[in-house]
Structure 1
Amino acid sequence: MYSLRMAESVTEGHPDKIADQIADTLLDEFLKKDPYSKVSLEILVTTGLVMVGGELSTESFVDIPKVVRGVVKDIGYTKPELGFDADTCAVITSIDEQSPEIALGVSGEGAGDTAIVVGYAVKEAPNLMPWAITIAHRITRKISELRKTGKCPFLRPDGKVLVSMIYEDGKPQFIKDIVAYVHHDPDISIQNLRELVIEEVIRKEVPSELLGNRTNIRVNPTGRFVIGGPVADTGLTGRKIVSDAYGDIGFSGGSAFSGKDPTKTDRSGSYMARMIAKHIVAAGLADKCVVQIGYAFGLTEPVAFDIETFGTEKVDKERIEDAVLKLFPLKPCDIIELLDLRRPIYRDTACYGHFGREKFPWERLDYLDKLKELL
């Protein structure tokens, strides 16, 4: 039986990703000076404006407009002709103190939010992620790299890639479509841009065995993409949660990550769920695994826990679940300690996915041998 699965990735200069990166960079700055900062920020970016709103409880001081402009500049919006400029955009802040009721609920090491979190792993790409989202992130990351290193100075910061893949009986067969929208200067021809992206990005970043005569590659199919970024589209934090996670082949608890400190279980819990799922697949206990955890605000223990292996398990699921519950901490405070989440590590998560990159502590396989021993 054939099926189609898809995934989307966006570049650093996409308006929604600008918002996510600003939120997580501000989080990092607060954590640098006060690791116990409670942060919940939302960002809006639009023509000539960045608005920072949210709740905050911290002993540190951060120059928010300075940090915001630094992020925008680092992304590449440094010229007025781009329609959005780090030096001239307005920065408005509306920050309140954390609610005393919320502070009371978290003070006892309880969950900082009510959340359903989901972790996923699958025996496909080497990073145990679905191929579609892995390839989409590879392409957008490479496009940004060519721009930021100066190899292709005619590229601009915005961009988006959609990848669709054909599966047969649950196994990936080949890529059906790659559609890339690449932001560019007005003086490069569309034909030259298309040839560059296909030959220097797609052909080099996508495994050849996944490409074929049936793969349809399109670059800027609607033509020119000169006007992009916040001048073309308003950006908000949390609007790319499927791209941040696993693409459409995985599952989502519905919560966003960026701008939230690790006491927010929709973030830290999602990281632990991925760590557990990855261990199960890496240990050869199943070919595909979803881990779901339910957290309720103020409670120290999760209210629900479930593992689904879709009939691919090599060991009885109850035994897998028992072993996982013995090995992996699920209390929010224990997750924070194990993964050392009070460090300023979050800017790097805000673009090209929160999962599948070895630099993050939740991608480590520290418990692999112990899990195998138990089972």
Structure 2
Amino acid sequence: MDTFLFTSESVNEGHPDKLCDQISDAVLDACLDQDPESKVACETCTKTNLVMVFGEITTKADVDYEKIVRDTCRSIGFVSNDVGLDADNCNVLVYLEQQSPDIAQGVHGHLTKQPEEIGAGDQGHMFGYATDETPELMPLSHVLATQLGARLTEVRKNGTCTWLRPDGKTQVTVEYYNDNGAMVPVRVHTVLISTQHDETVTNDEIAADLKEHVIKPGRKIIIDTYGGWGAHGGGAFSGKDPTKVDRSGAYIARQAAKSIVASGLARRCLVQISYAIGVPDPLSVFVDTYGTGKIPDKEILKIVKENFDFRPGMMSINLDLKRGGNGRFLKTAAYGHFGREDPDFTWEVVKPLKWEKPQE
């Protein structure tokens, strides 16, 4: 049996890039919570003792952006200069403008267009992916790296590993077998863990704690999605309202790919969609089952088009993407946007597909 090695990595919620994503999505949550029609394109950058929020936001919401920044940093664990950032004393800069009037007119007609008429917020192409190698219908290498990172955060916050700091990275290499296009995990080959830690703790103490408590059964766009499997259109997700198809398009493409695999139509599936700015209907829809389809890919493509509405305004409604608040999108900004059992992750709900099964 010929096998191969494939590696996926992840980062903890205290990684600077993930800190930025979480702040951007906390801002999005706050805007959508008060005004579901908010148009948000929020970016965040950070350096020692500094966080800056900038971009374009048009909203009726009354948002205290500085408070959101400080609260998010504090909840992650950035509470002193010793860990790289002090939520209560760091410098916070806010540079936000309103959405370009030309873009607003082309995309949503300054909120005058009906949902089915709303155009894409930009051109671009997005991908969704699913595989039957795990119950989540996600790649095993990605699931393990992501869950290991989440576990590091859990044992840091519950006091099990008091020496851990917020930042950290994980990496998992899995040995796979290609079963006629489907991916079959054989074994875990290598696990890497890289963390910030209290300098007074010895390496031996850290190794013992990790063995006992952790190693158990926008910017990071690959970490956010499928760990290097499938494909990626290049657009980040966090800080973007659903008219930004970088996010909403990737969400509906994941639901389509997952539904195909869950229905038994294929063991592995990639879905691509593409858009032109201001145009509601996608320019193209593509399906590839890597040779694992029970029926030809062109027939599966027809099923996808019949069952999923890829127009931005309709995706917002069907996936309930205008609802913010209570950390709805903040939760997506660390440990992956896909493969998670949470009712707020509406794009993970499998849609039943009707198709004629071939005769045995």
Out of 236, 258, 274, the position equivalent to 1:278 is: 258
Q: Displacement, 1:76?
A: 0.3
CA contact (8 A) 2:12 2:166 kept: yes
**Farther off after superposition, 166-175 or 120-129:** 166-175
Deviations 1:239-288 (A, max 9, x none): 20000000112211111000101110010010000000001101111111
Preserved contact between residue 118 and residue 290 of structure 1 (Cα < 8 Å) = yes
Quote the residue 1:76 is aligned against. Answer: 77
Residue matched to 2:329: 346
Residue pair 1:324, 1:371 contacting (<8 A) in 2 also: no
Could you report, residue by residue, the CA deviation over 1:134-180 in whole angstroms, capped at 9, with x for unpaired residues? 00011010110111122222211010001111222242211221110
Conserved 8 A contact 2:164-2:198:
yes
Q: Is 1:252 the counterpart of 2:227 in the alignment?
A: no
| 2:123 paired residue number | 114
Q: Which residue of 2 aligns with 1:307?
A: 287
**Residue 146 in structure 1 maps to residue 129 in structure 2:** no
Shift of 1:372: 4.6
% identical equivalent positions? 44
> Which residue in the other structure is 1:295 paired with?
275
**Aligned twin of 2:168:** 159
Residue aligning to 1:223? none
- What is the CA–CA distance in structure 1 between the aligned matches of 2:250 and 2:23, rounded to whole Å? 21
User: Does structure 2 retain, via aligned residues, the 8 Å contact 1:49–1:91?
Assistant: yes
Q: Distance in 2 between matches of 1:195 and 1:372?
A: 53
In 1, Cα distance between equivalents of 2:295 and 2:331: 36
Question: 1:50-106 deviations in whole A, cap 9, x for unaligned?
Answer: 011101111112111111000000000112322310011101111111101110111
2:348: which partner in 1?
363
Q: Which amino acid aligns with 1:159?
A: G
Q: Which residue of 2 aligns with 1:67?
A: 68
Q: Pick from 171, 176, 184: which aligns with 2:184?
A: 171
Given that 1:113 and 1:297 are in contact with CA atoms closer than 8 Å, whether structure 2 keeps it comes out as yes
SS, match of residue 179 in structure 1: strand
Contact 2:49/2:81 (8 A) holds in 1: no
What is the deviation of 1:373? 6.4
After the TM superposition, which residues 119-268 of structure 1 pair with which residues of structure 2 at under 5 Å, given as runs? Answer: 119-169=128-178, 170-202=183-215, 204=216, 206=217, 238-268=218-248
Q: Normalising by the residue count of structure 1, what TM-score does the alignment of the two structures yield?
A: 0.88
1:358 and 1:364 in contact (8 A); partners too: no
Aligned CA distance change for structure 1 residues 255 and 374 (closer, same or farther; 3 Å): farther
Give the equivalent residue in structure 2 for 1:44.
45
From 292, 298, 310, the counterpart of 1:330: 310
State the partner residue of 1:54: 55
1:371 to partner: Cα distance: 2.9
Distance in 1 between the 2:133 and 2:199 partners?
39
Q: CA deviation at 1:4?
A: 2.1
Contact 2:303 2:355 in 1 (8 A): no
The unaligned stretches of length 5 or more in structure 2 are none
Q: Cα RMSD between the aligned structures? A: 1.3
Q: Are positions 1:319 and 2:328 aligned together? A: no
Partner letter of residue 121 of structure 2?
G
Give the count of matched residue pairs.
Answer: 340
